[in-house]
Amino acid sequence: KNPVASAVFSWLDLHRQVRVRGQVVQVSPQQSDEYFASRPRDSQLGAWASPQSQVISDRSVLTERLEQFRKQFDGSDVPRPPSWGGWLIAPTMFEFWQGRPSRLHDRFRYSRPNASAAAWTIERLAP
């Protein structure tokens, strides 16, 4: 019901931070297939072996399932599991922060009304 997300990337040692906000969009099956195919084989097999977020009794559940899928896909490409896919944030706002002495930090906001708008509004913000 609310397809909006935000993320913050901080590099505190560098006194920098980037915020992004936008609409969450599921990537196409083709994009998911391409990305899955680019991953190492063990990662592909791990995607099949792990019942993500389900409670398991111990690690042996994962290692046994991994071995099962190693045998199942031996000698062939590993297809993308049906439940495996990707999401992205189609950005409508970026804010860049760079720390400076005396709290007179630099802040810039790039915004647009929606993710398909071509033009960005750039504003300097007070710290």
Residues 68, 22, single domain; the answer is no
Spell out where 71-120 has E strands: 87-98, 106-111
Q: 22 pLDDT exceeds 90?
A: yes
Candidate list 103, 107, 109, 124, residue with the active-site label: 103
Give the residue with greater pLDDT, 115 vs 110: 110
Q: Mean per-residue pLDDT for 2-29?
A: 97
Q: Mean per-residue pLDDT for 27-53?
A: 97
Residues 91, 105, single domain; the answer is yes
Q: 21 pLDDT exceeds 90?
A: yes
Residues 35, 80, single domain; the answer is yes
Residues 72, 52, single domain; the answer is yes
User: Would you state the pLDDT for residue 62?
Assistant: 96
Count of domains observed in the chain: 2
pLDDT tens digits, one per residue of 83-98: 999 999 999 999 999 9
Domain with residue 94: its CATH number is 2.30.110.10
Domain that holds residue 21: 1-27+86-127
Q: 1 pLDDT exceeds 90?
A: no
How far is 60 from 42, CA to CA, in rounded Å? 17
User: Would you state the pLDDT for residue 42?
Assistant: 97
Residues 92, 66, single domain; the answer is no
Residues 79, 106, single domain; the answer is no
Residues 91, 107, single domain; the answer is yes
Q: Of 101, 100, 99, which is closest to residue 18 (Cα–Cα)?
A: 99
Q: Is 70 a catalytic residue?
A: no
Residues 36, 10, single domain; the answer is no
Residues 40, 2, single domain; the answer is no
The pLDDT-based confidence of 107 (bands split at 50, 70, 90) is very high
Q: Mean per-residue pLDDT for 19-27?
A: 97
The pLDDT-based confidence of 48 (bands split at 50, 70, 90) is very high
Q: Mean per-residue pLDDT for 64-89?
A: 96
Residues 77, 117, single domain; the answer is no
How far is 30 from 111, CA to CA, in rounded Å? 29
3 state SS of 65: helix
